Structure 1
Amino acid sequence: MNTRTKDIAAARGKPTHSSVPDNPESTLTEDALSNSQAHLSCAFQDAAIGMALVGLDGHWLQVNPALCKLVGYTQPELLATTFQAITHPDDLDTDLAFVRQVLASEIPTYQMEKRYFHKQGHIVWILLDVSLVRDPATHPLFFIAQIQDISKRKWAEEALRTSQEMLHQALQASNTGLWVWNTESNEVSYSKEWKGQLGYKEAELTDDFQTWETRLHPDDHAQAMTYLRAYTAQPVGDYQYEFRLRHKDGTYRWIETRATFVTEPDGRQIRLLGSHTDITARKHMETTLRESEAWHQTMIEAIPQQVWTARPDGTLEYVNRRVLDYFGCQEDDLLGWEWESVLHPDDLPACQESWCQR
């Protein structure tokens, strides 16, 4: 038995050795106690999680193989140091505060997630459970610590946070919001980006169906609701529609929504998962383009010259009014003609050469 083990045994009020008693019943009792202690020792040594007895000053008094494997130190190496020495500095103050509370009988035990430094230098995340052993006079003797490796869980949580942050940034960059509608219970959930599209903070809009419906443009409401009911009654393909929603500032934003039903484990399709993309800029551009095309069309029709366009093969695809007046026919009569067919044979070679050069 090493010195630290003797100290522990002494602190518990148990002898480090005993002589053989004369009383047979006493012998049986001590044998049972010895067997019990052996079982406890095996449980400590063979535990799948890290276990340790820790002195009031933080020194490791006894450590099991699972803990040594967890932090990469041999048993003698750990017993020569303290838990403070391998604890991440950002977690140490919290840990020591819990220790003081336990020693002061303010709390009986404590649990926390913290980081140890592995012997090789990398971080090991652990879940720590600590209780205090006292002597019959309630004087503190040492701590019992149970230490579970939760590194994989923490890395998975960090990967999930990173993924969510990337998704958040992608949604912001694409000006896209997400929504989920349970068509059976009528429960709806809108993402932060969905609400932000309309100028609202996350807490300013409630997650219900009316939040969407009451903000539909009056001219779009009936058709949007009809399309939605038709799709939920017979969900063929993807749900895709364009409509206008009222912004917080009173203006309307053009929204393109796309959605599809999620299949539940029992095979039902009751949740519609969708996205909202703000296409206001695109709609304004389309309107501007249409207006520009209409203006140019008006100008072309107003000029006194003949104007026509043709495909590369020479087939006419547009003629203005002056061309129709010149030939005395309707537009449908000319479209589809090849311009070569109306040229004088003497002019055709030169025109064909010029056409090919262009």
Structure 2
Amino acid sequence: MVATNGRFLKMNHSFCDITGYSEEELLSLDFQSITHPDDLELSKKYAIEMMSGQISSFQLEKRYIHKLGHTVWVMLSSNRYGDIPNKRLYYIHQIVAITEYKQAEAMLRENGQRYHHLLKLLPEPIAVHSEGILVYLNDAGIKLVGAVSQEELVGKSILDFIHPDLQHPAAANIKQVLMGDIMGFSEYQLFRMSGEVVEVEVCSTKVNEFMGKSVIQTVIRDITERKRTNELLRKSDKLSAVGQLAAGVEHEIRNPLTAIKEFIQLLKSRTKESSSYFDIMLAELERTLVSLFSLLNLIR
């Protein structure tokens, strides 16, 4: 119980334990004397509004200075009792110690800031989104999508950057991650701000605490060059196979055509009639051989 001037009138043992003072010591003090200086102005404001009748109750988080000198966080709920015209008023303060909660909150906030700083410096593009809505993209991610700043991207749907044909499976993957599943790398076509298409692979996982809420962290890898290299390798393999085929074809064709040429020459030497026909046959055969071997060499 607290008087309108702020002096303590009555308290239980729990309040004595929270502040470190005995009942006798508290009865000689007022709430101002044990309130943290940074919270004193707000506490006085509420007290004045209660005394004037503007409000009949309030609740706030505040700090007391423990008798030993350390800070104690509390959740204070206050209600006004008494008769305003006759100024027979007093306040009932109900207090819950929340120091451990505030310490845990501060630790989470600090860890969140460290996590935020770590993401920013990582060389691999990372997107943080809440059910598909972007809340953060690190520097590498901003560069990947071709944006100038974070503000261009925050609030946009991550699906807007994915090829329409792949948006449905991407949305299904997001739902699975929210349920706690860890998705392996999946390939997507990503649209940059300029409209250029980039081949990427992404892997997502749920993060339970990022700036005070659960989000999904998605690692993005640009695999455009890798895809191009793989395509070149596939073409190279095909060309190699064609070259081997050409070598086999040359062997299979050269021998019979050479034999035919030799037999025509033999028949020509034994037959005087229609000698010009043999010359034409040999010329055409020679031209065919030259054209065929030129083509096979070009393929190889």
Q: Same fold (TM over 0.5)?
A: yes
CA contact 1:117–1:124 (8 Å) conserved in 2: yes
State the alpha-carbon separation in 2 of the partners of residues 55 and 237 from structure 1. 58
Offset at residue 237 of structure 1 (A) = 8.2
Counterpart contact for 1:231–1:239, Cα < 8 Å: no
Instruction: Give the drift of 1:203.
Output: 7.2
Gaps of 5+ in 2: 208-214, 230-300
CA offsets per residue over residues 3-39 of structure 1, 9 Å max, x none?
xxxxxxxxxxxxxxxxxxxxxxxxxxxxxxxxxxxxx
Say whether residues 1:104 and 2:63 are aligned partners.
no
- In the alignment, which of 135, 140, 157 is matched to residue 191 of structure 1? 135
Residue 204 of structure 2 corresponds to: 259
* Mapping for residues 278-289 of structure 1, pairs under 5 Å: 279=222
Deviations 1:106-125 (A, max 9, x none): 11111111001111221111
Change (3 A) 1:56 1:205: closer
- Aligned counterparts of 2:83 and 2:89: Cα–Cα separation in 1: 7
What amino acid sits opposite 2:102 in the alignment?
Answer: K
More moved, 67-76 vs 127-136:
127-136
Per the TM alignment, residue 160 of structure 1 is displaced from its structure 2 partner at its CA by 1.6
Match of 1:70 among 9, 12, 18: 18
Correspondence for 1:61: 9
Unpaired segments of 5 or more residues in structure 1? 1-52, 181-186, 263-271, 291-358
Note the C-alpha offset of 1:141.
Answer: 2.7
Q: Would the aligned equivalents of 1:98 and 1:110 in 2 still touch at CA under 8 Å?
A: yes
Amino acid at match of 1:82: D
Q: What is the alpha-carbon distance in structure 2 between the residues aligned to residue 134 and residue 230 of structure 1?
A: 60
In the alignment, the residues of structure 2 paired with residue 249 and residue 143 of structure 1 have an alpha-carbon distance, to the nearest angstrom, of 63
User: Residues 326-352 of structure 1, C-alpha deviation per residue, up to 9 Å, x if partnerless?
Assistant: xxxxxxxxxxxxxxxxxxxxxxxxxxx
Aligned residues: percent identity? 26
Matched, 1:149 2:97: yes
Decide which moves more: 200-209 or 117-126.
200-209
Q: State the distance in 2 between where 1:135 and 1:259 align.
A: 62
Going from structure 1 to structure 2, the CA distance change for 1:230 and 1:166 (only over 3 Å counts) comes to closer
Q: What CA distance in whole angstroms lies between the structure 1 residues aligned with 2:182 and 2:71? A: 49
Stretch of structure 1 that moved more, 111-120 or 161-170: 161-170
* 1:66 Cα deviation after fit: 0.6
Partner of 1:159: 107
Q: 1:211 pairs with 135, 138, 160, which one? A: 160
> Structure 2 vs 1, CA of residues 260 and 67 (structure 1 numbering), >3 Å: closer, same or farther?
closer
Instruction: Tell me if structure 1 keeps the 8 A contact 2:137–2:150.
Output: no
Q: Which has the higher contact order (CA 8 A, sep 6+)?
A: 2
Aligned pair 1:177/2:127, yes or no? Answer: yes
Distance in 1 of aligned mates of 2:150 and 2:95: 42
Give CA-to-partner distance per residue, 1:293-336, whole Å, 9 cap, x none: xxxxxxxxxxxxxxxxxxxxxxxxxxxxxxxxxxxxxxxxxxxx
| Deviation at residue 201 of structure 1 after TM alignment | 3.8
Q: d(CA) in 1 for partners of 2:173 and 2:3?
A: 68
Amino acid across the alignment from 1:192: Y
Paired residues for 1:266-285 under 5 Å: 273-277=216-220, 279=222
Q: Judge conservation of contact 1:257–1:277 (CA < 8 Å) in 2.
A: yes
Return the letter of the residue paired with 2:46. Answer: F
Report the 3-state secondary structure (helix = DSSP H, G, I; strand = E; otherwise coil) of the residue aligned with 1:160: helix
SS in 1 for 2:202: strand
Larger radius of gyration: 2
Q: More displaced, 140-149 or 243-252? A: 243-252
Partner AA of 1:193 in structure 2: L
Any idea what SS the aligned residue of 1:239 has? coil
- How many residues are treated as equivalent by the alignment? 212
| Letter of the 1:188 counterpart | G
Displacement of 1:80 after TM fit? 1.5
The alpha-carbon distance between structure 1 residues 260 and 136, as it changes in their structure 2 partners (threshold 3 A), is closer
Residues 171 and 177 of structure 1 are in contact (CA less than 8 Å); yes or no, is this contact kept in structure 2?
Answer: no
Q: Which amino acid aligns with 1:177?
A: A
Letter in 1 for 2:65: F
How far does the alpha carbon of each residue in 1:229-281 deviate from its partner, in whole angstroms, 9 at most, with x for none? 9989x99984214555333355666644113699xxxxxxxxx955133658x
Q: Is the 8 A contact 1:110 1:131 kept in 2?
A: yes
